Amino acid sequence: MKLTLHVWRQKAANDPGTFEKHNVEADEHMSFLEMLDVLNQTLIEQKKEPIAFEHDCREGICGACSMMINGRPHGPLNGTTACQLHMRHFKDGDQIWIEPFRAKAFKVVRDLVVDRSSFDRIIQAGGFISVNTGQAVDGNTIPIEKERSSSSMDAAACIGCGACVAACPNGSAMLFTAAKAAHLGILPQGEVEEDRRVLSMVTQMDKEGFGRCSNTYACEAECPKEISVTNIARLNRAYLKASLRSDL
Amino acid sequence: MNWITRFLTSSLGQKVIMSLTGIFLILFLVVHMTGNLQLLANDGGRSFNVYAEFMSENPFIRVISIGLYAFILLHAIQGIVLYLANRKAKGSTHSTGKVAGATWASKNMALLGILIFAFLCLHMGDFWFKMRFTDQLQMVTYDGHHTAVQDIYSRVSAAFQNVWIVIIYLVGVFALAIHLVHGFQSSFQSLGINHKKYTPTINAIGWIYTILITSGFAIMPLYFFLQ
């Protein structure tokens, strides 16, 4: 299949950047990133600068491929990352627009590579539980009911890719922060530090310059792991509770 | 930082302010709409004029109405602050397509809010201001009622003979309907009330509420215009 790509090219964070047109011949069995590999190989052979894009696992769980494909985070297929999007979802002769995730808190490093370290700082602020290191505890030492462990695991599916921020008209990181706070807070091991956790994570989230959630739910629709916005309601509740009941 | 300042200036706290003031305004609309249905009583305006006098003279209602004006302003100002902060947070956008999920209403609450606010200024200038601060309205007396009351009914009836005023009212009510469709359920989400057990019910009540309230308001100008 023959495709016309309009790829965002930007040399550095302060470069204004622009779309660049490329023609590429792709196979329908290729993943979207493999199609970009083919294009990059051609560019290298022509002694041109290859397109910078991030990838790690290519199994849909690392969350590195922070790109908008035809205006949607990770492309037109719901519940997938760009590496799991295959070219059979496009047609011969298609025009495809590829650009990096956009938000003030996500600076473009180069081309399609975005600096998402603001997410790391939210995690550092409180997205953990305090335990002594050493031998791992035996499994099932603390009994946890099925419903709780399931909701926690649903929230823990978040891969921190930033699609929620890119999809949000406000550039809000609420779905990410809410999922991270929920997957720890729902379990007994994480519950004890919930107040400190949500207060610190929300403070850090605001400090990073993310927008305010206006409940458009575009994040849930575009999340490759289909994280539910009920986690956002849970964070709203937990933050209100922590503000009223804790000494912090 | 003091805990309450931290809460109210945080992104989540600002949404709680929007939510609580919004819920107050949602409740106010119920009173405003049902009370004004007396315009349709077909008694020459007696019940509406007596009701209007009660609403403007009763000390309890006066206190509540000051709270209402304050909450309208707080809701509007906080909404603008959030809108500007969100535009800044989104930064540049070159996006060619459209993301899934978000409704037009949810993305345009600020625009709808500005339309509603502009409508409110016209609406209050037309009736509330004339009733409170001018002597333009005629006084009428009714058998069995202790004092003469201002004839706001005639003013309403006269205003709605003008097709442009009717159109402005219908546009204002339509903007309100779209604002409520998103705002009703959104106010619960911002307070952390979302669960698969009851959220479908909240959404359904939101739709029924919006249809009842806005069609109630839309009937009033049409009733006088088509008479």
CATH number of the domain bearing residue A82? 3.10.20.30
Q: Is residue A141 part of a domain?
A: no
Domain count, chain A: 2
Helix or strand or coil: residue B143? coil
Q: Is residue A139 part of a domain?
A: no
Rounded CA gap, B5 and B14, in Å?
A: 11
A158 lies in the same domain as A173: yes
Residues of A with CB below 8 A from B85's CB?
Answer: 211-212
Q: Is residue A126 part of a domain?
A: yes
Q: Which of A93, A92, A97 is nearest to A73 (CA)?
A: A97
Q: Report DSSP letters for B166-226, one per residue.
A: HHHHHHHHHHHHHHHHHHHHHHHHHTT---TTTHHHHHHHHHHHHHHHHHHHHHHHHHHHH
pLDDT of residue B146: 82
Q: Is residue A172 part of a domain?
A: yes
Q: Is residue A53 part of a domain?
A: yes
Give mean pLDDT, residues A11-28. 94
For residue A21, pLDDT beyond 70: yes
To which H or E segment does residue A5 belong? Answer: strand A2-9
Handedness of CA A182, A185, A188, A190 (dihedral sign): positive
Residue of B nearest to A97 (CA): B96
Q: Is residue A29 part of a domain?
A: yes
A14 lies in the same domain as A86: yes
pLDDT of residue B131: 80
A129 lies in the same domain as A207: yes
Give mean pLDDT, residues B161-187. 97
Q: Per DSSP, which regions of B69-174 are E strands?
A: 139-140, 149-150
Structural domain boundaries enclosing A58: 2-110
A93 lies in the same domain as A192: no
Percent share of chain A, pLDDT over 90: 94
Collect all residues with Cβ–Cβ distance below 8 Å to A164 and sequence separation of at least 6: A172, A173, A174, A175, A176, A219, A222, A223, A227
Q: What is the pLDDT of residues A93-151, one digit of tens each?
A: 999 999 999 999 999 999 999 999 999 999 999 999 998 888 888 888 889 999 999 99
Phi first, then psi: what are they for A2, rounded to 5°? -100, 130
pLDDT of residue B91: 84
Percent share of chain A, pLDDT over 70: 100
A121 lies in the same domain as A233: yes
A95 lies in the same domain as A158: no
Q: What is the pLDDT of residues B17-75, one digit of tens each?
A: 999 999 999 999 999 999 999 999 989 899 999 999 999 889 999 999 999 999 999 99
Percent share of chain B, pLDDT over 70: 98
For chain A, the average pLDDT equals: 95
Residues of A with CB below 8 A from B11's CB?
Answer: 172, 174, 202, 205-206, 210-213
A11 lies in the same domain as A103: yes
Is the Cβ pair A235, B92 closer than 8 Å? no
For residue A28, pLDDT beyond 90: yes
Q: What is the pTM of this model?
A: 0.94
Give the confidence band of B138 by pLDDT, cuts at 50, 70, 90: confident
pLDDT of residue A248: 86
Rounded CA gap, A172 and B90, in Å?
A: 8
CA distance A136 to chain B (A): 35
Residue at token pair 């739709």: B207
pLDDT of residue B134: 83
A95 lies in the same domain as A184: no
Percent share of chain B, pLDDT over 90: 80
For residue B215, pLDDT beyond 70: yes
A128 lies in the same domain as A189: yes
Residue at token pair 């473009």: A108
Q: Is residue A140 part of a domain?
A: no
Provide the β-strand partners of residue A2. A25
Give the confidence band of B94 by pLDDT, cuts at 50, 70, 90: low
Q: Report DSSP letters for A45-108, one per residue.
A: HTT-PPPP---S-SSS-S----EEETTEET-SSTT--GGG-BGGGS-TT-EEEEEE--BTTBEE
Q: Which of A225-229, B20-24, B122-126, B209-213 has the lowest mean pLDDT?
A: B122-126
pLDDT of residue B168: 96
Q: What is the pLDDT of residues A167-184, one digit of tens each?
A: 999 999 999 999 999 999
pLDDT of residue B98: 78
- First-last CA distance in chain A: 59
Is the Cβ pair B90, A212 closer than 8 Å? no
Is the Cβ pair B90, A102 closer than 8 Å? yes
Yes or no: domain B3-88+107-226 corresponds to CATH 2.40.50.140:
no
Residue of A nearest to B78 (CA): A212
Is the Cβ pair B99, A221 closer than 8 Å? yes
Instruction: Choose, out of B5, B11, B184, the residue to mutate when testing the contact with A (most A CBs < 10 Å).
Output: B11
A218 lies in the same domain as A162: yes
Pair of tokens at residue A29? 């069995």
Give mean pLDDT, residues B109-126. 95
